[in-house]
Every structure is written in C-alpha cells, then in structure tokens.
C-alpha cells in the first residue's frame, strides 16, 4: 500500500514543470480539492480482468466520471465520479492529478473512450463536408482559436453527417497522453443522436423533442421520423429560460400537443420545479428509459434512468 501511495505522489510531483506549480503544498492542495462523489463497484469487478473491459470517461462542466463496461457480460459494473474546481483554467491541472493518482483509470483496458459535452457544435451532411475547409465551416458558427483549440470531426452514422466541435488543445493533449493513443474521442451530440434514432426507430410517427439537461445548458433535438430537424444548445440561468427555449421550438415548428412528445434526458428530477412547469405547457412528457441493449449492475439502481444517459450509451459509438 505504501508503495502505491509513493508511486502516485511521484507522478503528481512530476507535474511541477508542466503546470508551473510552485511547491508541494500547492500540489497537495489541488490533489485534495477535487473530491470523489461516487465510488461504486459490483462484486464481479476484477481489476485483473481489464483486458475484457471497456473504459468510458465523461467530462461535463466541473465533473469527470467514468464507467467500466464488461464486454463479455455486456454489463456496466463500475462507476466513479469526481467533482472538479469551478474555475475552468484549473480543470486541466486537476485532471492531470486525477489521471496520475487514480489506479483504476490507468489500467490498459481493451478499449477506451472519452466523452466531452461541448457547445457550439456543427453538423454537416457528408455530401457537403470538406475536411480541408473545417476551420472555415466552424467559424461560420463559432470563433475558433487555432493556438488554443483543436477541431475534432466525428461521423454521425445514423444521419449520414459529420459533427465538428472544438476542444481545448492542452486538455486534448493531456487526455491523449494519459489515456493512450488508441483512445476514441466522442461528443455527446453524436452519442445522443445515434441513441435516440436507434431507441425510437419504430416509434417515430410523430415529432419527438428530446431535451438533455446539463448543469447550465440544455441540448435540444427535434426528430420527425428518422429525420433530425434541429440540434442546438441553449444556456440557461433559470427555469423561465428553459421554458422560453422549448416554447420557441414548439412555435417555430408549429408543434401541436397531440402530435409531439417531449423526452427528458440528463440532470432533471421528477421533483424539480422545472419539470412541474414543463407539464403545464407540454401534454406528453416523459423521462427516457435506459438502453435495454445493455445490462446494468445493481450499483446503478440509486440513479434515475435518465441520469448519466450519454455516458451509459457512449459505447454504442465506439
């Protein structure tokens, strides 16, 4: 045990030069700043069986969480979540410390993916996508800083399109260095779009308005049949902001109460005042159920099924 602690502290101290951290006190302050919110594992989890596991990591606002998926049992068996500093400029430093000290995340799994929740994403039909024009295309929607950011493109197979999004260059390099070159980067838009189309492929006669709730943003997807009509992200400060955005979509597309349903995904609970207000404006409203293609350990029973939906569906896009 002492040897493991020594190794972890050594890895942490090695970050001095990279992040210009002045002394061991500052390092240890940062190491204890992030805290473990959940640390849950099924008794069938065996760290020596890493070769038959997939690791799915998600970065969302000031949280990083990951699950381990047993490829033979097709079952999620491990969940861990850290709360990070609220200052964006410190997140990369904190992640470096977590990657250095977390023995579970360091294991050489059969496969790994890193899911990022981002704003300002761009979706382009493959027939119009030109890789060489990525920066120009992205700048039509969001200003891109090539010195500090990288552009990542992903194939969204179910709609024959390409998704573009930006990521902090320092964070991108850190994740690659820490989790390995074979790591697969994924965006929550890609995961959610593919999951919704797969889940509702036989139930898309009417419009479905799928809303993913995050800490300070909502991701809104409107489907008609297998067609994606809109995918957008809105920042909110209050319940009224959310109601405004959803009503805006309803009015723009002239959705009739009897002709569409609203599906709730992500960080919203049934006892929320936001949910109570949504029920006033939307007749057919429900919380999404977990993907029945996967199996889930009892450790996930304490979470509502709509929570961590992106993370628990990211393996579909690997």
Please state the pTM of the whole predicted model: 0.87
Instruction: Pick the range with the lowest mean pLDDT from 25-29, 56-60, 188-192, 294-298.
Output: 25-29
Looking at residue 107, what is its pLDDT?
A: 95
Looking at residue 14, what is its pLDDT?
A: 52
81 neighbors 307 (Cβ within 8 angstroms) = no
What does the alpha-carbon distance between residue 46 and residue 79 come to, in Å, rounded to a whole number?
14
Looking at residue 10, what is its pLDDT?
A: 47
70 neighbors 51 (Cβ within 8 angstroms) = no
Going by CATH, does the domain composed of 200-317 fall within 3.30.420.260? Answer: yes
Mean pLDDT taken over the chain: 88
What does the alpha-carbon distance between residue 121 and residue 163 come to, in Å, rounded to a whole number?
7
Looking at residue 19, what is its pLDDT?
A: 47
Comparing CA positions, the residue from 292, 311, 316, 269 lying closest to residue 78 is 311
Confidence of residue 237 (pLDDT cuts 50, 70, 90): very high
Confidence of residue 33 (pLDDT cuts 50, 70, 90): low
What does the alpha-carbon distance between residue 249 and residue 242 come to, in Å, rounded to a whole number?
11
Q: Is the pLDDT of residue 1 over 50?
A: no
Task: Tell me whether strands 184-187 and 111-116 are parallel, antiparallel or unpaired.
Answer: parallel
Q: Rank 129-143, 191-205, 219-233, 296-310 by mean pLDDT and report only the highest.
A: 296-310
């Amino acid at each position: 045990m002492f040897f493991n602690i020594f190794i972890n502290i050594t890895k942490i101290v090695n970050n001095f030069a990279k992040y210009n951290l002045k002394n061991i006190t500052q390092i240890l302050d940062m190491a204890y700043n992030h805290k473990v919110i959940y640390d849950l594992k099924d008794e069938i989890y065996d760290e020596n069986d890493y070769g038959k596991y997939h690791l799915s990591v998600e970065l969302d606002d000031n949280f990083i969480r990951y699950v381990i998926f047993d490829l033979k049992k097709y079952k999620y068996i491990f969940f861990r979540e850290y709360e990070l500093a609220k200052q964006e400029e410190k997140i990369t430093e904190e992640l470096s410390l977590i990657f250095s000290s977390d023995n579970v995340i360091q294991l050489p799994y059969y496969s790994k993916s890193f899911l990022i929740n981002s704003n300002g994403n761009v979706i382009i039909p493959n027939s119009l996508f030109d890789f060489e024009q990525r920066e120009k295309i992205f700048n039509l929607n969001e200003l891109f800083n090539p010195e500090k950011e990288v552009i990542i493109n992903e194939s969204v197979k179910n709609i024959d399109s390409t998704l573009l999004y930006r990521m902090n260059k320092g964070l991108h390099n850190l994740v690659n260095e820490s989790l390995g070159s074979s790591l697969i980067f994924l965006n929550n838009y890609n995961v959610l779009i593919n999951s919704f189309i797969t889940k509702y492929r036989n139930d898309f006669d009417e419009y479905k308005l799928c809303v993913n709730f995050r800490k300070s943003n909502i991701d809104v997807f409107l489907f008609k049949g297998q067609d994606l009509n809109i995918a957008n992200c809105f920042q909110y400060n209050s319940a009224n902001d959310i109601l405004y955005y959803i009503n805006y979509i309803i009015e723009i597309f002239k959705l009739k109460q009897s002709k569409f349903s609203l599906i709730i995904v992500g960080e919203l609970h049934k006892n929320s005042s936001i949910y109570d207000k949504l029920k006033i404006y939307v007749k057919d409203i429900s919380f999404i159920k977990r993907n029945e293609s996967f199996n889930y350990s009892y450790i996930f029973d304490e979470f509502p099924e709509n929570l961590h939906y992106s993370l628990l569906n990211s393996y579909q896009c690997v």
